Amino acid sequence: MITYGFILIGCVCFTGGMLNGATGFGALIVMVPMLLMVLDMQTAIPLGVVCCILLQLVGAITLRRHVQKRALTQLVLSSIPGSWLGATLLSRIPELYMKTFLGALFFIYASWCFTRKQTSPQKPPASFWAYIAGFCSGALGGAFGINGPPAVIYITRTGWTTEAMRGTLNTLLALVFLSVLAAQYTQGLLVEKVWELAMLCAPLCFLGNRLGWRLARGLRPEQYMRLVMLLILVMGLSLCMPALRQII
């Protein structure tokens, strides 16, 4: 691999780590498309998953005292049947239609959050919304490997502290990515090249994560929510782009 490839991989891992440190999620969405510029899919995706597990575990361990255990349990349990549904839908509905529909929903929701006026204190959602968010996260993860947004939307509506939101989200995604890693292992995707690159990228991921953590350290819950909504807005646009390119 040429030097340019190593430099790009290092920059991507640093950027993914910084994004994860600031928001608690989203690193894989940024890392995989850029890694595919210099790596094949069978290497890029497992590498991104390994790096994301390391990043999520750092956040989960650091913020373990702030994790909302009841909500976490609800999210994890309900994600299991959702994963099965997502895998089933992927085999029956064209991927382009599903991604465009989901991208439009994410974009509309994030835009509404940015434009609406907060006139009264936010009321925490009922506990059954945790099950719905977990189910939807599992469905998206089973279909596309994009499991963060529904859980993020629920968590940002709870009124928790920034530490509680980030800690719960990091722990949830760490568990999800571990299950994905196990599935990749059974498929023989975790080859020696993936582990070699992961060892090289890990320090850069941690360095970026530390920087992102420092940047977001002083954020109030409402500021953190706006940052997260901005990321969901970008995700929504990225999911809609293939359909937009066909129309144009």
DSSP string, 143-178: HHS--HHHHHHHHHTS---HHHHHHHHHHHHHHHHH
123-132 own/partner pairs: CB under 8 Å, 24+ apart: 123/159, 124/157, 124/158, 124/159, 125/154, 125/157, 125/158, 127/70, 127/71, 127/74, 129/154, 129/157, 130/71, 130/74, 130/75, 130/78, 130/154, 131/74, 131/75, 131/77, 131/78, 132/78
Higher pLDDT, 146 or 24: 24
**Model pLDDT, residue 229:** 78
Residues 6+ apart with CB under 8 A from 113: 225, 226, 229
Instruction: Give the per-residue pLDDT at 144.
Output: 61
pLDDT tier, 145 (very low <50, low <70, confident <90, very high otherwise) = low
Interval 179-219: pLDDT, tens: 778 877 887 878 888 898 889 888 999 999 888 888 777 77
The predicted structure's pLDDT at residue 207 = 92
Percent residues over pLDDT 90 in the chain: 4
For residue 122, what is the DSSP state? P
- What's the rounded Cα separation, in Å, for the pair 168 and 64? 8
Least confident of 29-38, 85-94, 226-235: 85-94
Q: Is the per-residue pLDDT at 36 higher than 50?
A: yes
Stated pTM of the model = 0.73
What is the reported pLDDT for 47? Answer: 87
Model pLDDT, residue 134: 87
pLDDT above 80: residue 110: no
pLDDT at position 195, please? 92
